[in-house]
Amino acid sequence: MHSLCLAMPSPSPINPLFPLKQHKISRSIALRKIFVIKLHSHSKLPTSDPDHDVIKGRELEIRGLLPELMPKHLAVIADGNRRWASERGLQGKQGHRAGRRAMKEVILLCSELGLKALTFFLFSTENWFRPKDQVDFLMAEFEDMMVSDVEEYRRKGIRTSVLGDTSKLPKSLQKAITAAEETTKGNTGLHLMISLNYSGKHDILQATKKIASKVKDGMIFLEDINESLFLEELNTKCTEFPNPDLLIRTGGERRVSNFMLWQLAYTELFFVEKYFPDFKEADILEILRSFQQRHRNYGK
- Alpha-carbon distances, residue 171 vs 148, 161, 174, 191, 213 (angstroms): 18, 17, 5, 24, 29
Contact (Cβ atoms closer than 8 angstroms) between residue 163 and residue 195: yes
Q: Flag residues of the chain having pLDDT under 70.
A: 1-55
Comparing CA positions, the residue from 15, 10, 34, 97 lying closest to residue 255 is 34
pLDDT given for residue 21 in this prediction? 36
* Separation of alpha carbons 125 and 121, rounded Å: 11
pLDDT given for residue 2 in this prediction? 47
pLDDT given for residue 55 in this prediction? 60
The string of DSSP letters for 175-221 reads HHHHHHHHHHTT--S-EEEEEEEE-HHHHHHHHHHHHHHHHHTTSS-
3-class secondary structure, 259 = coil
pLDDT given for residue 68 in this prediction? 92
Residues 113-139 pLDDT 10s: 999 999 999 999 999 999 999 999 999
**Confidence (pTM):** 0.82
**Dihedrals φ, ψ of 268, to 5°?**
-75, 130
Residues 77-96 pLDDT 10s: 999 999 999 999 999 999 99
Comparing CA positions, the residue from 112, 135, 116 lying closest to residue 56 is 112
**Is 203 known to be catalytic?**
no
Overall residue count recorded for the chain in this entry? 300
Q: Give the chain's end-to-end CA distance (angstroms, integer).
A: 35
Which of the following is catalytic: 49, 53, 79, 283?
79
Dmax of the chain from CA atoms? 60
